[in-house]
């Protein structure tokens, strides 16, 4: 079997610091979206393969749990250094299998690296509390301990950053990880696995399990798995949450999105138009924080639409390894699904200001191309408004006043990200207070929180209690233990069946 890094290859699992073929002979094609060429085949693991990977992680856990914080931190720092030196390689792998332009792929790696840097401070982050003399000569203290084997299931749109939202903190906290990447672009995970090995991580602490629902179901029900961190579409997030929680696991499941930007009449319209184009069409709209609805308040709509259209028409579409602004969509099936939404929007009566189906791309004839599409006069009953399209399609909805815009956003089932564009501090403050969305930008279109804050949406965009990374991440990947101790002068109070009292 040929391994990762070659042109046409079999993309395998990773177990005990080595490639692992497993027993399943089922594979799925992995394509370069800019050419349409199949560049490899990823193995789709069986339940037996999942057992082997989970067992390896479970076997590695006790020793890793007992590794000192100093040792764990040194490995984290080494991993961070190697990643920083060689992240260009990872960005190219992402572009070859996802399609996003290399600079954008590098951006995702940089944001993931920030979580590694946060996790380098694990010794500080894990400090517990200590109370001396809580009762006479009795001390109480709390410690945080790792969970055991933790599963991470990631989507296609950030093959490096989303896993890195979770695994640096999970590993730093002493857990053993099983990462199940998207089968659409599985190679980045193996590159990261090799980097961990080079950084000195013991065998079995970071493992990769390739596959689809079969291995996901194993992660959700196998008694050796303590938790699952999932990121993907809302229906699967809901399924993962319900199934994993029913099996007694700790679950965080981040789902889909339909992010609105609210543009008030006093906003800087050039700034807002730039932001709509960047956030609407960057990464071909395949970001969970992409803006897909621009809500234009009052009389500015005509001017705003014209400014967005002018900018969007100038976007260079092409192979992400060339001098392009926007790459192809991830698969042909997804490209065709997004094109069908454009057709539906037209049929439903939205005004097509810019039609991405007429794209001319600097890339392979069989690439999965679709240009930026701009709809005006969109209303909530249209499928381009109600559904998460996850492509380069931006809808403008016109409303009379701030309250109409707020009502629209708050009635949406999703609540991942949102943004307001205004020069009125009072309006911005009111919006951040009133909007039912987890991440809010004020004149910032893609408000992805820093690693030391936490990333997560509300409503149908997240199932569970924990957001990703930051202190939520530290808490998710550890459980608390509280110890009450008495050493000096233990008083023998004799038999007393009463509830312990403090004195
Ligand atoms: P997806 O839900 O199709 O797949 C996500 C993961 O679930 C993959 O690893 C996939 O193999 C697995 N999966 C797919 N179908 C399954 C099934 N029936 N049973 C069990 N597992 C299954 O999502 P995607 O298309 O890879 O990614 C795009 C979606 O992810 C969008 O909805 C986007 O909004 C969302 N997303 C959300 C966030 C967030 O932070 N909220 C971040 C990135 C992406």
**Could you please report the per-residue DSSP string of 282-341?**
GGGG-STT-EEEEEEEGGGHHHHHHHHHHHHHTPPBB-TTSS-SB---S-HHHHHHHHHH
Question: In the structure, what pLDDT confidence band is assigned to residue 492 with cuts at 50, 70 and 90?
Answer: low
Contact 324, 316 (CB under 8 A): yes
- For the residues 112-132, what does the mean pLDDT come to? 98
Does the beta carbon of 152 lie inside 6 Å of ligand 1? Answer: no
Nearest to 471 by CA among 228, 173, 190, 255: 173
Q: Which atom of ligand 1 is nearest to the CA of 235?
A: 2
Q: Is the pLDDT of residue 4 over 80?
A: no
Question: In the structure, what pLDDT confidence band is assigned to residue 8 with cuts at 50, 70 and 90?
Answer: low
Q: What is the distance between the alpha carbons of residues 31 and 41, in angstroms, rounded to a whole number?
A: 9
| Catalytic site residue from 31, 90, 215, 288 | 288
Q: Which atom of ligand 1 is nearest to the CA of 334?
A: 25
Q: Is the pLDDT of residue 491 over 70?
A: no
What is the CATH topology of the domain spanning 259-442? Aldehyde Dehydrogenase; Chain A, domain 2 (3.40.309)
Does the beta carbon of 285 lie inside 6 Å of ligand 1? Answer: no
| Domain layout of the chain by residue ranges | 3-255+461-483, 259-442
Q: What is the distance between the alpha carbons of residues 112 and 164, in angstroms, rounded to a whole number?
A: 5
What pLDDT sits at residue 6? 44
Q: What is the distance between the alpha carbons of residues 78 and 501, in angstroms, rounded to a whole number?
A: 49
Question: Ligand 1: which of 26, 50, 155 to mutate, most ligand atoms within 8 Å of CB?
Answer: 155
Does the beta carbon of 338 lie inside 6 Å of ligand 1? Answer: no
Q: What percent of the chain has pLDDT over 70?
A: 98
Q: Which atom of ligand 1 is nearest to the CA of 233?
A: 32
Q: Which atom of ligand 1 is nearest to the CA of 181?
A: 9
- For the residues 404-415, what does the mean pLDDT come to? 98
Q: From the CA of 157, how far away is ligand 1's center (Å)?
A: 9
Q: From the CA of 110, how far away is ligand 1's center (Å)?
A: 22
What pLDDT sits at residue 240? 99
Contact 325, 316 (CB under 8 A): yes
Helices (H) and strands (E) in the chain, counts: 15, 23
Does the beta carbon of 415 lie inside 6 Å of ligand 1? Answer: no
> Catalytic: 288?
yes
Nearest to 182 by CA among 204, 205, 161: 161
Please tell me the residue having the least CA distance from ligand 1 atom 12.
Answer: 212
- Choosing among 3.40.630.30, 3.40.50.720, 3.40.605.10, 3.40.50.11290, the CATH entry for 3-255+461-483 is 3.40.605.10
Question: Ligand 1: which of 179, 219, 232, 290 to mutate, most ligand atoms within 8 Å of CB?
Answer: 232
Total-model pTM:
0.97
Query: What's the chain's length in residues?
Result: 503
Question: Sign of torsion, CA 270 275 277 280?
Answer: negative
Q: Tens digits of per-residue pLDDT, 444-476?
A: 999 999 999 999 999 999 999 999 999 999 999
Does the beta carbon of 254 lie inside 6 Å of ligand 1? Answer: yes
Q: Which atom of ligand 1 is nearest to the CA of 468?
A: 40
Q: Tens digits of per-residue pLDDT, 370-396?
A: 999 999 999 999 999 999 999 999 999
Burial class (CB in 10 A: 0-12, 13-18, 19+), 55: middle
- For the residues 414-418, what does the mean pLDDT come to? 98
Question: In the structure, what pLDDT confidence band is assigned to residue 48 with cuts at 50, 70 and 90?
Answer: very high
Q: What is the distance between the alpha carbons of residues 120 and 347, in angstroms, rounded to a whole number?
A: 53
* Distance, C-alpha 248 to centroid of its chain: 23
* DSSP bridge partners of 18: 15
Three-class SS state of 456: coil
CA distances from 323 to 226, 331, 363, 501 (A): 45, 21, 11, 72
What pLDDT sits at residue 46? 98
């Amino acid at each position: 079997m040929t391994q990762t890094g070659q042109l046409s290859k079999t993309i395998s699992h990773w177990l005990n610091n080595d490639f692992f073929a497993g027993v399943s002979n089922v594979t799925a094609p992995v394509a370069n979206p800019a050419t349409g060429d199949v560049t490899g085949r990823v193995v789709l693991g069986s339940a037996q393969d999942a057992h082997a990977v989970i067992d390896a992680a479970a076997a590695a856990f006790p020793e890793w749990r007992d590794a000192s914080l100093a040792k764990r931190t040194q490995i984290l720092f080494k991993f961070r250094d190697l990643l920083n030196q060689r992240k260009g390689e990872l960005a190219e792998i992402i572009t070859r299998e996802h399609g996003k332009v290399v600079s954008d792929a590098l951006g995702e790696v940089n944001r993931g690296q920030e979580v590694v840097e946060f996790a380098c401070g694990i010794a500080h982050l894990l400090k517990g509390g200590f109370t001396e003399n809580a009762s006479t000569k009795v001390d109480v203290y709390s410690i945080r301990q790792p969970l055991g084997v933790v599963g991470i299931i990631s989507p296609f749109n950030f093959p490096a950053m989303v896993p890195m939202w979770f695994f640096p903190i999970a590993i730093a906290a002493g857990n053993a990880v099983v990462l199940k990447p998207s089968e659409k672009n599985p190679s980045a995970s193996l590159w990261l696995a090799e980097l961990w090995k080079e950084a000195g991580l013991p065998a079995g602490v970071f493992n990769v399990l390739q596959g689809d629902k079969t291995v996901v179901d194993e992660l959700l029900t196998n008694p050796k798995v303590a938790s699952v961190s999932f990121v993907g579409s809302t229906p699967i997030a809901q399924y993962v949450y319900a199934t994993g929680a029913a099996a007694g696991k700790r679950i965080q499941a981040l789902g889909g999105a339909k992010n609105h930007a609210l543009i008030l009449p006093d906003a800087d319209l050039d700034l807002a138009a730039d932001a709509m184009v960047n956030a609407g069409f960057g990464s071909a709209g395949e970001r969970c924080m992409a803006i897909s609805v621009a809500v234009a308040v009052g009389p500015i709509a005509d001017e705003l639409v014209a400014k967005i259209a002018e900018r969007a028409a100038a976007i260079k579409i092409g192979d992400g390894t060339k001098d392009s602004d926007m790459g192809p969509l991830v698969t042909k099936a997804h490209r065709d699904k997004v094109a069908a939404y454009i057709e539906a929007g037209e049929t439903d009566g939205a005004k097509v200001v810019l039609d991405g189906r007429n794209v001319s791309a600097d890339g392979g004839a069989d690439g999965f191309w679709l240009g930026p599409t701009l709809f005006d006069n969109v209303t909530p009953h249209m499928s381009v408004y109600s559904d998460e399209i996850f492509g380069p399609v931006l809808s403008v909805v016109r409303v009379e006043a701030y309250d109409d815009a707020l009502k629209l956003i708050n009635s949406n089932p999703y609540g991942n990200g949102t943004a307001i564009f205004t020069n009125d501090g009072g309006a911005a403050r009111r919006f951040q207070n009133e909007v039912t969305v987890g991440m809010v930008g004020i004149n910032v279109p893609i408000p992805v929180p820093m690693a030391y804050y936490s990333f997560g949406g509300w409503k149908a965009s997240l199932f569970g209690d924990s957001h990703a990374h930051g202190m939520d991440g530290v808490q998710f990947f550890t459980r608390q233990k509280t110890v009450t101790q008495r050493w000096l002068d233990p008083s023998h109070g004799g038999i007393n069946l009463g509830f312990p009292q403090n004195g």
